Chain A
Amino acid sequence: MINFDALGDAFTLLSTSWSAWVFVIPGLLVGLFFGSMPGISITMAMAIFLPMTLYMDFLPAIIFLTSIYTGAGFGGSVPAVLMNIPGTSSAVATTFDGYPMSRQGRHNEALGLALSSSVIGTLSSYILLMFIIEPVSGVVLKMGPLELFVVAIWGLMLLGSLAGDSIPRGLLAGTFGLLLGTVGMNSAGYIRGTMGIPWLLDGVPTIPAMMGLLAASQLLNLVNTRHLIEDEDLRKISLKKILNGFRESFQFKTIIARGAIIGVIIGSIPGVGSSISNLLSYSEAKRNAPDGDTFGKGNPKGVIAAESANSSSEGGAMATMLALGIPGGGATAILLAAFAMHNIVGGPSFIANNQDIVYAIIISNFAQALLLLVIGLGFVYFASYIVRVPMRYLIPSVLVVALFGSYAIDGTSSGPITLAVFAVIGWAMVRYNYPVAAAVVGLILGNLVEGNLLRTYQISGGDPAYALERPGALFIMALMVISFSLSAFSKMRRKRKEGAAMGAS
C-alpha cells in the first residue's frame, strides 16, 4: 500500500530538483515523433537517447527516458488511425476501428478518442501501480506456461469475432497467421519452414508482415481512388472535432476501466505485454458491446478499448521492472540499463530502499500523461493534415515510408522483402474477403501459443491433472468462462428484448 512519508519525500524531491521537469516536454516530443514513424520502436527511440542521459543526474535521466516511453506509446496510434499502419504490435487493434473511422471522415474524432483514452489509460495504470507494485512482484514470477497459454487462448478467441461474413475464411486466415507465427526455431530448438533463409530462424519478422498485411495491401487496393476520404466536406481538420472525440471517450468509462486493468495486468507479465493487451481489451469490448457487429467498421469503442489497454501496459511493465528488476520488454530493459549507468540496481531491494524515488517516478509519469494531453493535441492536429494529401501522392509515399520503416528494424532487406510479400498476400486476401486482421492476430500469438503449450506439455508430461496444481491458471480460465457466458447471456437478453419490441410494434 501507499507509504505516505515516502510520498511526501517524493514531492520534495520533485519540487527541489526542478531541472528534472525540463526534460519532460522534449522527451514527450521525441517519443511522439519517433513513435509515429513506422518501424522505429520505442526501444530504439530510448536506446538512441540513452547515452545522453549519462551526463544527467539520475532522476532527470529517468524522467527523460520515461517521457520518451510515454510519448512513443501514443505516437504509434497516429499512423495506425490515419494510414492503417501499426508501427508496433501494440497498435494493431487501434487500426481495426481507427482506420475505418478515418476513411469515413471521422479522423479528427478518432485521434481525439485515441489521445484521451491513452492519457486516461496511462494515468489509471500509474494509480493502480501505486497500490499493486508490491503484490505484483509476488504474482508475476508465478505466471507459468499454463497461465500464459490460457491468456494466449483468450487472445485467440478474438479470431472468432474477426471472422466477418464467412467463418471458414476467417478461421483459415487465423490458422494461417498462427502457423506463420511458428516459423523458425521453436522453443525446443527445432528449425522449421525457414527455406534455408537465415533471418527466418527468428521467425517471420512480425512488424513488416503486419505492415504488409494491414497497410500496404490497403494502399494497393486504393490505387484507383482519389482521396482517403471520398467526401470533400469531411476532409477538414478540426480542433473542435478532435476535442469532441476527446470528450466522447469519457462516456465509455467501463471500456476504459476494463482496458486499463487488462493493460496493467498483461503488461506486467514479462515478454507478453502491450502486444497482447490491446487485442484482449478489444475483443472483450467487442463481445460486451450491444453494437458489437459494427466493430471493425469504425466504432469509436474499438479505438478506446485498444488505446486504453496499450497505454496502461506501460504502467504494468514499469511495475515489474521496479519490483523485480527484470525487464518485461525492450523499453524497460533500456530503463534498467539507465539505472545501471547511475549505479542503481533495480529489484526488490531498490523498491524497499528508495521508495521516494519510486514514487517520484510514478508522480512524474502522472505529469507526463497530463502534458501529453496538450502536446499530443497539437501533434495530432498537424498529423491529420495527411488526409488532405491526394491519393496519387499519398499511396507511393506511404508505401515507401513503410519500406523504410521495415528496413529500419534491423538494417537488412529482410524487412522490405517480408513487407512486399505480405502486401501481395494481404491484397489478395482483402480482395476475396478474408479478414487480414485475423491473420495478423494469429501471427502475433503464434509463438506465444506454441511455446507455452509446449512448456505446459513438458512440465506436466501430458497429464491434464497438472492444471489442478495451478490455481492461477484455473482462476484465469474461470474468468474467461464467466466473461464469455456473461456476454452471451446479455446478448440473448438483448435479442429477446428486441424481439419483444418488434412484436409489440
Chain B
Amino acid sequence: MTSKLNRRTMLKLSGGGIAAAAMASPSILSAQDAYPSRPINVVVPFDTGGYNDRLARAFAPFLSERLGQPLNIINRGGAGALLGHTYFLQQPDDGYALLCTSAAPYLPLNILTQDAPFTIDQFHMVNLPSRDYTMLATSTESGITSIDEVISRLKEDANSLSIGIQPASADLVNLMLMADALGIDREALRLVTFDGGGPTRNAAAGNVVDIALVGGQGFLPLADKIVPLLIFDDAPRDGWNSKLITEVSADAQFVSGSQRGWAVHSSLVENSPEIYQTILTAIEETSKDPAVITALTNAQLATDWFGPEVSNKSLRATAAVMEQHISLLQGT
C-alpha cells in the first residue's frame, strides 16, 4: 500500500531488486540505456480493496522480479476512475508509470459522459486479462427458474418485473440491446438503480428486486443464493449453468463487461519502442508463468494473456457500442 512498505515487501520477495536499484539509481544519466533504472509506479485509479487494486498488488511482486525494480502502487480513486486516468496521463511517458485499470467501461464512460480531458487513443492496452460479463440472475426465492419465463413476462408487460441495475453501465446497455432484439418496450422497464455492483448483487440475492443484471464474476461468493438465468457472452463462463445471449436471440448485440488489466501511454509505444518492448515482454512472461497463474487464480484474479492487439481491439469495440448508445449512459 505505501511506497515504503511496498518496497520492504519487495525486498523480501526479490532480495536482489533493491540492491540493483540502489546501485543503478545514482546514475540518472545512464537511465536511458538501462531501463528500468529506478522504481516503477503503478497507478490504480480506484481505492484500495477493489479488483484492480488487488490485481495490481498480487501481480506486482512477480512483475517486479522480471523488471528488476520495485513497483509502487499508487491509488488515485474517485469520479469513476476519471481522476486516476487523468493523473496517469500527467506522468511522464518514460515507462516509469504503468496503469492498472478497468479500461472498459471506465475509459469510454469518462470520455462519453464526463468530458474527460483525454481520448482513448492516448492509452495503449498491454494486456486486459480480466474480462467480466453481464449476468442476469434472480434470487433462489423468487420462483423464477428460466430466462424464457423472464422474457415472456417482460414481453407481456415490461413493467411486471423490477430490474436491479447500475446506471451508466455496460449491463444497462446490454439490457436495452436485449429488449430491442426481443421486442420488449424499453421505456416501460422498471429499473431500480444501485450504486455499485455489490449492492446490486445483494439485492438480487435477497429477492429485493425480481431480477438483476450485473457483472457475473462478483456473483461467485453468492452462488448458492441466486439462480443464474442468462450470460451476455458467446461461450459459457465460470461454470455457470445458464443460457447464453446468443442462444436466446441470434442477432442480439452485446458488450462485454469490465475489461481490466495493464496499460501504458500510447506515446511511449511510439517514442520509446525499446522500453515498451521491455515492459511488454515482462508482462507477457509474468502472465504466462505457472507460479503466477496459480497464485492469482487462488485469489480469484485473472492472468490470461491476450496481448496488446486483442486487448486494444476489444476495448475499442466496446467503446464503439457504448458511443452508439450514449443516451443510455446519461441517467435513467
Contacts and interface: CB of A to CB of B under 8 A. Distances in A.
Are any A and B Cβ atoms less than 8 Å apart in their complex?
yes
Contact of A187 (B114, B194, B198, B300): B194
Interface string A435-459: 0000000000000000100110011
A201 B12 CA distance: 40
Contacts of B76: 410-412
Contacts of B1: 44, 47-48, 50-51
Interface in A49-63: 49-52, 54-55
A47 B192 contact: no
A202 B81 CA distance: 11
Nearest to A45: B1
Interface string B110-127: 000010000000000000
A54 B1 CA distance: 13
B227 interface: no
Q: Give the 5 A-B CB pairs with smallest separation, nearest first.
A: A141-B206, A189-B167, A144-B208, A325-B221, A47-B48
Contact of A144 (B48, B74, B206): B206
A341 B61 CA distance: 14
A484 interface: no
Interface string A136-148: 0000111111000
Interface string A410-449: 1110100000000000000000000000000000000000
A48 B331 contact: no
A48 B86 CA distance: 25
Interface string B43-81: 000011100001001000000000000000011111110
Contacts of A345: 221, 300
Interface stretch (B2-10, B96-104, B263-271, B305-313): B2-10
Contacts of B190: 458-459, 461
B84 to A, nearest CB: 10
Given A144-B206, A188-B193, A202-B78, 18 more contacts: A43-B49, A47-B1, A49-B5, A145-B192, A188-B331, A198-B78, A198-B82, A201-B79, A202-B79, A270-B198, A326-B201, A341-B298, A346-B221, A410-B77, A412-B78, A455-B193, A458-B191, A459-B190
Given A189-B330, A270-B202, A340-B300, A458 B162 contact: yes
Interface in A71-88: none
Given A48-B2, A51-B9, A189-B331, A454 B79 contact: no
Contacts of B156: none
A55 B82 CA distance: 35
Interface in B194-227: 194-195, 198-199, 201-203, 205-209, 221-222, 224-225
Contacts of B6: 51
Interface residues of A, number: 54
A262 B80 CA distance: 33
A326 B48 contact: no
Given A47-B48, A55-B12, A201 B193 contact: no
B222 to A, nearest CB: 7
A343 interface: yes
21 contacts: A44-B1, A44-B48, A48-B1, A51-B5, A140-B206, A141-B205, A141-B207, A141-B225, A142-B207, A185-B80, A187-B195, A189-B329, A201-B80, A201-B82, A202-B79, A324-B221, A325-B221, A325-B222, A330-B49, A458-B191, A461-B159
B114 A142 contact: no
Contact of A326 (B49, B202, B330): B202
A355 to B, nearest CB: 18
B49 A47 contact: yes
A434 B122 CA distance: 49
A410 B83 CA distance: 10
A198 B49 contact: no
Contacts of A47: 1, 48-49
B152 interface: no
A324 B274 CA distance: 48
Interface string B6-34: 10010010000000000000000000000
Contact size range, B: 35 or more
Contacts of A185: 80
A145 B79 contact: no
B48 A189 contact: no
A349 B223 CA distance: 10
Contact of A459 (B12, B162, B198, B225): B162
Q: Which of B49, B74, B190 lies at the interface centre, i.e. has the most chain A CB atoms within 10 A of its CB?
A: B49
Contact of B167 (A188, A202, A334): A188
A347 interface: yes
A188 B80 contact: no
B281 interface: no
A165 to B, nearest CB: 37
A252 interface: no
Contacts of B300: 340, 345
Contacts of B86: 198
B167 A326 contact: no
Contact of A199 (B47, B83, B193): B83
Contacts of B202: 141, 270, 326
A187 B193 contact: yes
B193 A458 contact: yes
A290 interface: no
A135 interface: no
Interface string B288-332: 000000000011100000000000000000000000000001111
Contacts of B47: 43, 330, 410
B168 interface: yes
Interface in A317-357: 324-327, 330, 333-334, 337, 340-341, 343, 345-349
Contact of B222 (A50, A327, A347): A347
Contacts of B75: 410-411
Contacts of B329: 189
B79 A455 contact: no
Contacts of A334: 48-49
Contacts of A346: 221
A382 interface: no
Given A141-B202, A144-B203, A270-B199, A198 B114 contact: yes
A185 B166 CA distance: 12
A26 B261 CA distance: 35
Contact of A143 (B78, B82, B159, B206): B206
A18 interface: no
B2 A459 contact: no
Contacts of B12: 55
Contacts of A390: none
Interface in A195-209: 198-199, 201-202
A8 interface: no
Contacts of B330: 189
A51 B57 contact: yes
B85 to A, nearest CB: 10
